[in-house]
Amino acid sequence: MDEKKKVILRLENICQSYVVQNGVKDAVENVSLEIYDNEFLVILGPGHCGKTVLMNMIAGLEKPVGGKIFLDGEEIHGSDRRIGMVFQSMNLMPWRTVMGNVEFGLELAGVKKAERRAVAQKYIDLVGLTGFENSYPHELSGGMKQRVGIARAYTNNPQILLMDEPFGALDAQTRYAMEEEVLRIWEQEKRTIIFVTNNIEEAVYLADRIVLLSNCPATVKQVYDLSGLPKPRNMTDPAFLKIRSEVSANTDLAL
Amino acid sequence: MNETTNAMTNEQRVKLVQDQKRKLTYQSAMLSVAGILGFLLLWEFLAVSGVIESKKLSDVLQVFRLFILKFVDKKPDGAILPVHIWSSLEVALCGFGLAVLVGIPLGWLMGWYRGFDSFMRPIFEIIRPIPPVSWIPLTIVWLGVGLRAKAFIVFFAAFVPCLINSYTGIRQTKEVLKNVGKTCGASYFTVFWKVGIPSSMTMTFAGIKVAIGNAWATLVAAEMLASSSGLGYMILMGRSYGRVDLVMMGILVIGILGVVISALINLLENVVLGWKKL
């Protein structure tokens, strides 16, 4: 693509390390990235390579040891309402209904009840959970729970949505269905999405660009531009399979 | 097998399932009643047959008759039964209520704020293993033998489980739920209020139940040592006068009141933790 793309999020030499029993363990090393407005970026890496750590730093849940994060050109420190997050499984409050979970962010922001109900309802409808507003999380299937998580993140109206292996705990069929869903939702409500996964097929199916991370400590190994491959993609298409095996050959094995 | 299986309508199916459930409920209710009746029969048999002499075990009817009589008769301990019950309940509710009001918030705060935990924990760890009844002598010196003294002892008995459970409960708040709050831009206190406290409720209620049991047990002990009214005092008087029936009636009343209080707490729990049942 020739048109100039607007950079919305910029990571500059992000490093993260932890003190462990015998010394210091590096989790993320000098990761620099530019993320464009409204793109679907997939961060792909082997298990336990520091993907989640990277997400948590962007979400402001932990402070990087080194490096800077810029949102819309200004440096950010800590959590920011402009960055929302869809977490891994088991992330709903079991004591709140679907509606209660989805409107949680707005409730914290002090939005009036009628208003936040309306916004929450819009996104509950968007993720296809109309009619389940008063159900509790334990009455929902795994896929439905993740839909609630997506609706909750959208309700805060963030510019950037982080999705940290949201479908990792789902069975294969539901996972395929949810991958389609997340693309449909993204087409309807365009946001910048940073999607973390360790599943190569999922990455190639969803991404405009794939950032491939190395084994721990995570560094950027390669960036693939997939914008030439039209969506929705067919997982048995030769072009799809070619990229898939290309990425696959380049991916480090997790220990 | 049921020959209507193939042709069963939805209504029939619903009815069948409901009937099965009703039958199970009925069966377990009948078994519970049979258990109580069996216990009473065994007791009556032991008392009437003379296996245990009547000086040591009164029979059921005698205890029941005394229970009715004690609503008007002040003898031999100087007060009618409702007065004793009210005296005990008053102490239990004061001490227990105070323990809930102080212990649970304290546990929440200690469980949530590390600094506060480090500050409070040593003191709490010293208070924790002290048996509540060992406060009795000091309490008599400080507060005499009235309501306040007994409530103070009950407070200590109920305070510890309230605190430990709300503390443990809030410590078990899932990290991911805290993070949900944080990414919504909430302050640490807001996350405490909106996420920590609700997610600790299951444990907190378990603590309240332990606490009411402790409170009730300690109350009777306190009344036997430092009191001039209450169910514990009534039992003690029964022993002094050699009235086994009075002692047994007192014990039964204490047991039944305990059941009633537990039922009330369960009712409250169903309201607060109603989402679990659905």
Domain co-membership, B113 together with B25: no
d(CA B110, CA B166): 9
| pLDDT one-digit tens code per residue, B124-147 | 999 889 988 888 888 889 988 788
Domain co-membership, B272 together with B239: yes
d(CA A168, CA A179): 11
Number of domains making up chain B = 2
Which residue has 């009547």 as its token pair? B54
DSSP assignment letter at A137: G
**What is the chain B residue with the closest CA to A79?**
B183
B34 versus A170: which is more confidently predicted? B34
Kindly tell me if the per-residue pLDDT of B81 is higher than 50.
yes
**What is the chain A residue with the closest CA to B189?**
A108
The domain in which residue B36 lies consists of 10-55
Q: What confidence category does residue A118 fall into, taking pLDDT thresholds of 50, 70 and 90?
A: very high
Q: Is residue B4 part of a domain?
A: no
Q: Is residue B153 part of a domain?
A: yes
Query: Is 3.40.50.300 the CATH classification of the domain at A1-76+201-255?
Result: yes
Domain co-membership, B68 together with B116: yes
Tokens of B26: 């009925």
Q: What confidence category does residue A2 fall into, taking pLDDT thresholds of 50, 70 and 90?
A: very low
Å from B156 to nearest chain A CA?
31
At how many degrees (to 10) do helices B244-272 and B231-240 cross?
160
A contact test, residue of B173, B177, B183 with most A CBs within 10 A:
B183
Instruction: Using the 3D structure, point to which of B55, B73, B89 is the last residue of a domain.
Output: B55
Tokens of A26: 């590096």
Domain co-membership, B26 together with B146: no
Kindly tell me if the per-residue pLDDT of B261 is higher than 50.
yes
**Region A46-72: what's the mean pLDDT?**
89
Tokens of A28: 């993320």
DSSP assignment letter at A64: -
Q: Which residues of B touch A84 (CB under 8 A)?
A: 183
Domain co-membership, B142 together with B174: yes
d(CA B84, CA B71): 10
Using an 8 Å Cβ cutoff, are B156 and B130 in contact?
yes
| Contact status of B174 with chain A (Cβ, < 8 Å) | yes
Average pLDDT, chain B: 89
B contact test, residue of A77, A79, A150, A155 with most B CBs within 10 A:
A79
| pLDDT one-digit tens code per residue, A151-200 | 999 999 999 999 999 998 888 898 999 999 999 999 998 999 999 998 99
B225 versus A105: which is more confidently predicted? A105
Q: Could B185 and A109 be called an inter-chain contact, meaning their C-beta atoms sit closer than 8 Å?
A: yes
pLDDT of amino acid A1: 46
Q: Could B180 and A80 be called an inter-chain contact, meaning their C-beta atoms sit closer than 8 Å?
A: no
Q: Where are the domains of chain A?
A: 1-76+201-255
Strands A66-71 and A220-225: unpaired
B3 versus A64: which is more confidently predicted? A64
Q: Is residue B3 part of a domain?
A: no
Kindly tell me if the per-residue pLDDT of B1 is higher than 70.
no
Domain co-membership, B133 together with B72: yes
pLDDT of amino acid B51: 82
As for the ipTM of the complex, it is 0.85
Chain A residues interacting with chain B (CB cutoff of 8 angstroms): 56, 59-61, 79-81, 83-85, 87-88, 90-91, 93-97, 104-105, 107-109, 136, 139, 152, 156
Domain co-membership, B71 together with B51: no
Q: Is residue B190 part of a domain?
A: yes
d(CA B89, CA B215): 10
